[in-house]
Structure 1
Amino acid sequence: MILKAMRRKDAGLTKKKTIYHLTKGLRDNLDRFVMHYALLPDRAIFSERDLPWIEMIRANWQSIRAEAIAIRAADIPSLGDISPDHGRIAADRRWRSYFLEGYGYRRRENRARVPTTASLIDSIPDLVTASFSVLEPGCHIPRHRGMTKGLLTFHLALKVPQDREHCWIQFETPEGLRVIPWEDGRTILFDDTYNHAVWNNTSAPRYILLLQVRRPCRWPARAVLRVFMWGVRYSRFVQDIRKRLDARQA
Structure 2
Amino acid sequence: MTSAAFHVQQARRHLETGNAAQALADAEQGLAAHPRDASLQLVAAQGLMALERFTEAVAQLEALTAAAPETGEAWMRLGACRLHMGDMAGAVDALEHGVACAPDSFIARLQLAEALQAMDRTDDALVHFFRAVTTAQAKGRWLGDQTTAPDLRERVRRAMTIIDAGRHALFFNAITPLVEQHGADDLRRVAQALEGYLGLRPAGSPDPRQKPTFFYVPDLQPEPYFDRALFPWYAALEQAADAIRADLQQVLAAREGLQPFLDFSGGARKSDFLDNARDLDAAAWDGYFFYRHGEAYAEHLAACPATSAALAQVPLTRIDGHAPEVLFSLLSPGTVIKPHHGVTNSRVVTHLPLIVPPDCALEVGGVEHVWAEGRCVTFDDTFLHAAWNRSDRLRVVMILDTWHPRLREVEVQALTRLVETIGTFNTRAGVA
- TM-score using structure 2 length: 0.43
Contact 2:364 2:379 in 1 (8 A): no
Kindly tell me: are residues 130 and 231 of structure 1, through their superposed partners in 2, closer, same or farther at Cα, counting changes over 3 Å?
A: farther
Q: Which amino acid aligns with 1:105?
A: E
Residue 123 of structure 1: CA displacement? 2.1
Could you list the per-position Cα deviations for residues 87-120 of structure 1 after superposition, in whole angstroms to 9, with x for gaps in the alignment? 7336875100111013431001111111111121
In 1, Cα distance between the equivalents of 2:228 and 2:418?
Answer: 26
Task: Identify the structure with the greater helix proportion.
Answer: 2
1:111 aligns with 2:301: yes
In 1, Cα distance between the equivalents of 2:238 and 2:363?
Answer: 22
1:62 aligns with 2:242: yes
In 1, Cα distance between the equivalents of 2:236 and 2:422?
Answer: 28
Residue 141 of structure 1: CA displacement? 0.6
Number of aligned residue pairs: give it.
205
Q: CA RMSD in A?
A: 3.1
Paired residue secondary structure (2:325): strand
Kindly tell me: are residues 126 and 80 of structure 1, through their superposed partners in 2, closer, same or farther at Cα, counting changes over 3 Å?
A: closer
1:123 aligns with 2:305: no
1:207 aligns with 2:391: no
* Match in the other structure for 1:148: 344
Residue 71 of structure 1: CA displacement? 1.3
Q: Which amino acid aligns with 2:307?
A: T
Q: Which amino acid aligns with 1:184?
A: E
* Match in the other structure for 2:362: 169
Residue 42 of structure 1: CA displacement? 2.1
1:89 aligns with 2:273: yes
* Same amino acid, percent of matched pairs: 25
* Match in the other structure for 1:184: 373
Deviates more, 1:73-82 or 1:188-197: 73-82
**Match for 2:197 among 23, 26, 31?**
26
Kindly tell me: are residues 232 and 62 of structure 1, through their superposed partners in 2, closer, same or farther at Cα, counting changes over 3 Å?
A: farther
Task: Identify the structure with the greater strand proportion.
Answer: 1
Residue 70 of structure 1: CA displacement? 1.9
* Match in the other structure for 1:225: 415
* Match in the other structure for 2:332: 136
Q: Which amino acid aligns with 1:80?
A: L
Q: Which amino acid aligns with 2:330?
A: V
Contact 2:240 2:306 in 1 (8 A): no
Paired residue secondary structure (2:222): coil
Give the gaps of 5 or more residues in structure 1: 1-13, 16-22, 237-250
Contact 1:137 1:202 in 2 (8 A): yes
Residue 170 of structure 1: CA displacement? 1.2
* Match in the other structure for 2:355: 159
Contact 1:69 1:207 in 2 (8 A): no
**Match for 1:47 among 227, 231, 238?**
227
In 1, Cα distance between the equivalents of 2:344 and 2:267?
Answer: 15
Deviates more, 1:92-101 or 1:226-235: 226-235
Could you list the per-position Cα deviations for residues 201-221 of structure 1 after superposition, in whole angstroms to 9, with x for gaps in the alignment? 111001111001111312542
Kindly tell me: are residues 188 and 26 of structure 1, through their superposed partners in 2, closer, same or farther at Cα, counting changes over 3 Å?
A: same
Could you list the per-position Cα deviations for residues 151-187 of structure 1 after superposition, in whole angstroms to 9, with x for gaps in the alignment? 10000100111xx2x1111122xxxx21112121121
Q: Which amino acid aligns with 1:160?
A: V
Residue 189 of structure 1: CA displacement? 0.6
Residue 83 of structure 1: CA displacement? 7.7
| Residue pairs, 1:68-87, within 5 angstroms | 68-72=248-252, 74-75=255-256, 76-81=258-263
Deviates more, 1:73-82 or 1:135-144: 73-82
* Match in the other structure for 1:240: none
Residue 81 of structure 1: CA displacement? 4.5
In 1, Cα distance between the equivalents of 2:235 and 2:337?
Answer: 28
In 1, Cα distance between the equivalents of 2:369 and 2:408?
Answer: 31
In 2, Cα distance between the equivalents of 1:54 and 1:208?
Answer: 15
Contact 1:77 1:96 in 2 (8 A): yes
> Larger Rg: 1 or 2?
2
Q: Which amino acid aligns with 2:356?
A: V
Kindly tell me: are residues 231 and 143 of structure 1, through their superposed partners in 2, closer, same or farther at Cα, counting changes over 3 Å?
A: farther
Contact 2:352 2:374 in 1 (8 A): yes
In 2, Cα distance between the equivalents of 1:139 and 1:148?
Answer: 25
Give the gaps of 5 or more residues in structure 2: 1-137, 140-193, 205-213, 318-323, 428-432
* Match in the other structure for 2:110: none
* Match in the other structure for 1:195: 384
